[in-house]
Structure 1
C-alpha cells in the first residue's frame, strides 16, 4: 500500500494482503540495515504474534547469493492443530518460491535490457501497474521521480502536478532520460455517465498534452516517452491478428485511445522517441479483471459473460512491466506497440481454465442483455467486446515473454505451479 523509503533502517512498509476474499493489513519496520550485507524487517502490525525476516547477501565465486531467514510465531500457536500449522508453512513456502522465481526472471530481464542507470519520470505511480513497475525499475539501478496530484512526499522523489488545471512547473523537474506516462481516470466496471466519460477522456488528453508540452520544451529533452494506451483502440472485432497498422474502432474506448495517442504529437514533433503502449487486459491478483472475477464470484461460482466468443488479449502485469522496460531500452521501437501475450483466448476459454485451476464450479453464463441492462455501454464495450491482437512487432524486437500461454500465467498467479523455495 505504501512505503516511507527504501531498505534503510527506519523504513516502514504497509501492505494489504488477501487470503481469498479476506484481507488484512501487514505493517513492517526495517531494522539492522548493513549495506551490501543484510537488512531485516519486523512486524509492527499483522496476523502474526511475531515476525522477523532477515535478507542476507553474500558474494560467491560465480556471483552472489540472497538468503531469506524467517522467524515467526502465531497467535495462540500451542493450541493450533498440526494440519493448520502445516498449511501456514506451506503458504509461506509458496510465497517465497514465487519471490525467488520473480527475482530470477527480473535478473535475466535486467541483463537483457542492460543500459546505463536511467533517470525516469513516471505518472500514475499509485495505480496497480505503477506500483509494480517502479520496484522493477529501481531494482535495476534506475532512479525514479513520480508526478503526483497530492502534496509531494519529500522522502520519495515526488513532484506535484495538476493536469486538470494545466499545472506542471518545469523548474521542479530534474534532468531525465525517459518518461513513462500511465496516468488516467480509472475506466471502472460500473455504468458510465456522461460526466464519467468526459473525465476518462479529459484526464488522458489534458495530462498527456501538458506533459508533452513541458518535456518538449526542456533544454535537454528526454530520449524516450512511453505513453499508455490500450488494445481497445481496435474496438470490438472478430478478426484475428490485429496489428499496429489496423484501423481504430468506432466505439467510445476506441475514441479514448485515439485521442490519447494523438495527444503525444508535440513530443513526436520535438524528436522524442515516442512509444504508444497498446496494453492488453492485465492479469494480477492485486487488482483488475482477475481480482474482480475471483473476489466477486457468487458463492465461489465462476461465470462467463454473454456468448463467451469475445476474445481477450490478455497479459500478466509481470510481462506488461517487463515489456515496458524493454520498450524503454530498445531504440528500434517507436510508435504503437501491442503489449499483450502471443496467444489470446476467448472469454469461454479463459473462464473454463480459471475454473479448472481454482477448483471452482462453472455456473450458467451471465446474459449479455442483462449486463447491458445493468451496466449500459460499459458492458457492451468492456465485458462483451474484445479483439485478437498480434504481438509480432514486440517479439521481433527481441522481447521474450515470461508467460506466453494463459495456463502458465494463471498457474503462476494463483500459486498452482508447485514451485519450491531453495
Structure 2
C-alpha cells in the first residue's frame, strides 16, 4: 500500500471517529433514541465490517480468495452505507456538520477504493494465501481503530436491542387531568420540556399555540399553531391558559458575563411579553404557569426545603427571583399565577442526564466532588403532568416546587444511574478541575445543590408516577414498562401520598 493510500485510510479513521463521538454519541445521542433502531443496527454491522477491514489492511496482504473476500466486504460496506444514508434522511433531521462530515467520508472512501481495489484485483489473481505484513506504527493504528469500532459496533447493536424497550408513555395520557378542551399558549414549546408538553396537549385534543423564533423549523405536531411573535396574536383570540417556559438554556457552560446577561434578558423579555399579551386579550386566560427553578433557594446544606423557604445569594437565586418578580409585577388582576420552581428534569433526550448516559454506560461515571450535594430531580413526564395539573387545579397558585418527593445526594444519584445501567460508578470527577474550568457554573449546578420537597404539589393532590430515583431511572433506561395515567391518578398506586425521606 502506498503512502497516499495510507494517508487516506488514516483520514477516514479520524473522520469516522469524529462522526461517532461528536454526532452519534455527543449531539444526536442515537443510542438512546428508540426511533433510530434500524440506523443503530446498520452502524453496528458496518463497524464490525470495518474492524475486519482495518485488521486485514494493517497486518496482512490477502491473496487469491482472501483478496476477493475483502473486495466483497468493501461492496457490502458500500451497500450498508447507502442504506444508512436513506435511513438517516427518513428518520431524523441531520445537523449541517453531520451532513458535511458524511460528504467528506464518502469522497475519501471513493479515493480509497480507487487506489486499493486495483491492487486487490491483482492479488486476487494469485494463489490463495494470507501472509503477514508489518507497516510499523500504521499497523498498530489499524489495530487500535479495529478495537474502537468493535466496541462501538457491539454497543450500537446492544442499543438497537434496547430500543424496543424505550417506549414512551402515551402522551395523551399525560394530559388526562384536563377534562375539557382548552386553548393553550406555550412559550419554549420546542425545548426539552416544551416538546413533550406540546405533544401531550396536542394528543389530548387541546388547541395549542407555540411561540417559536423559526416556525418553519419548529417540527411541531400537525395540529399545533406556531407563532413567531406574541404581537401577532389577535386580541380577540381565546386563550384559556399560558405556559411560559422560554429562556436561554442555563445548563450550557461556561457562564461568561455575556452568557449570564442572555440568560436573564431572555427570561425577562418573554415573561414581560406574555404579560403584555395577557393585558390586551379580550378573553383573559384563567391561569399562567410561569417558569422558575429551585436555584431560587441558593446554595444550601442538607436541610429539606419547601416553597416557604427563602434563598441565599448567588447567580441562580438572583435570576429566579427576577424571573418570578417579572411575572408577578405584570400580572393582570383575576388571573391565577403558578410559578414552577423546576429541579433537574430527567429524560434520555436532553438535559444533564443526556450528557451523563454515555460515560456511565461505558463504566466511566462517578460522583461530582464530595458527592454530598443535593440533587432535587423530577422525571420529565411527571414535570409535564404537574404543569397540566397546575392548569386544571383552581386551588393551586403561587410557587410550586417541580421536584420529586425523594431528593437524593449526588453520590446516591450517580449510584442509582449506574445501577440502572448495570455498570460500576467508580470514576469520580474531582471538584478542583471543575471549578477551574467552569467557575460558578460548576459551583452552582454541579458541586452544590438543594434538597427540595414538593409540598404544594402533594398538598394539591398531585401523585407522582416516578417518586423515587430508581423508578425514574428504570423507566428511562427501559428496565420497566411505561406508566399510563387516568385523570389525576397514576397507575403506580400509593407510592407518593406524602413526602418520602431524603436519600443520602
TM-score (norm 2): 0.63
Q: What residue in structure 2 maps to residue 19 of structure 1?
A: 31
Superposition deviation, residue 369 in structure 1? 1.7
SS in 1 for 2:416: helix
Contact 1:94 1:419 (C-alpha < 8 Å) held by counterparts = no
Superposition deviation, residue 343 in structure 1? 0.2
Whichever of the two has the greater Rg, that structure is: 2
Distance 1:116 1:409 in 2: 29
Deviation string for 1:355-393 (max 9, x for gaps)? Answer: 122122223421212110010110001111111112121
Q: What's the RMSD between the two structures over aligned residues?
A: 3.4
Superposition deviation, residue 191 in structure 1? 1.5
**Which of 379, 382, 391 matches 1:319?**
382
Q: What residue in structure 2 maps to residue 223 of structure 1?
A: 286
Q: What residue in structure 2 maps to residue 157 of structure 1?
A: 225
Contact 1:216 1:270 (C-alpha < 8 Å) held by counterparts = no
Distance 2:385 2:462 in 1: 9
Q: What residue in structure 2 maps to residue 284 of structure 1?
A: 347
Deviation string for 1:324-350 (max 9, x for gaps)? Answer: 000010000001000100000000001
Gaps of 5+ in 1: 1-15, 28-42, 51-82, 162-166
Instruction: From the two aligned structures, give the one with the greater helix fraction.
Output: 2
Superposition deviation, residue 294 in structure 1? 1.3
**Which of 323, 326, 336 matches 1:260?**
323
Distance 2:359 2:37 in 1: 20
Q: What residue in structure 1 maps to residue 182 of structure 2?
A: 118
Distance 1:187 1:49 in 2: 32
Superposition deviation, residue 148 in structure 1? 1.5
**Which of 128, 136, 145 matches 2:200?**
136
Gaps of 5+ in 2: 1-27, 40-83, 92-153, 484-504
Q: From the superposition, tell whether residues 346 and 48 of structure 1 become closer, same or farther in structure 2 (CA, over 3 Å).
A: same
Distance 2:227 2:175 in 1: 27
Distance 2:446 2:365 in 1: 15
Aligned length: 347
Contact 2:287 2:336 (C-alpha < 8 Å) held by counterparts = yes
Is 1:397 equivalent to 2:465 in the alignment? no
Q: What residue in structure 2 maps to residue 58 of structure 1?
A: none
Q: What residue in structure 2 maps to residue 46 of structure 1?
A: 87
TM-score (norm 1): 0.74
Q: How does 1:338-417 map to 2 (within 5 A)?
A: 338-417=401-480
SS in 1 for 2:295: helix
SS in 2 for 1:403: coil
Contact 1:229 1:261 (C-alpha < 8 Å) held by counterparts = yes
Contact 1:17 1:26 (C-alpha < 8 Å) held by counterparts = no
Instruction: From the two aligned structures, give the one with the greater strand fraction.
Output: 1
Distance 1:419 1:210 in 2: 37
